[in-house]
Amino acid sequence: MRRPTSDDATVRRSTSSTALALASVLPMVLLFHAFQRSFVQGFARSGIR
């Protein structure tokens, strides 16, 4: 059994921070996507070019 090195901790930290970043950004992206779609439809309906 080998002892965990600092590399293992670094890898674990980077993957967890990546997951955290994705979890915090994803709702923003989904909201932006939903609102962008409704804004574009509203502009198209009002005839603004």
The predicted structure's pLDDT at residue 6: 66
Q: pLDDT per residue over 1-49, tens digit each?
A: 667 666 776 767 778 888 898 899 999 999 999 898 888 888 788 876 6
State CA 1 to chain mean position distance: 37
Cα-based distances in Å from 16 to 8, 11, 12: 12, 9, 6
Domain boundaries, the chain: 1-49
Q: State the distance between the two ends of the chain, measured CA to CA, in whole angstroms.
A: 67
The predicted structure's pLDDT at residue 42: 83
**pTM, 2 dp:** 0.46
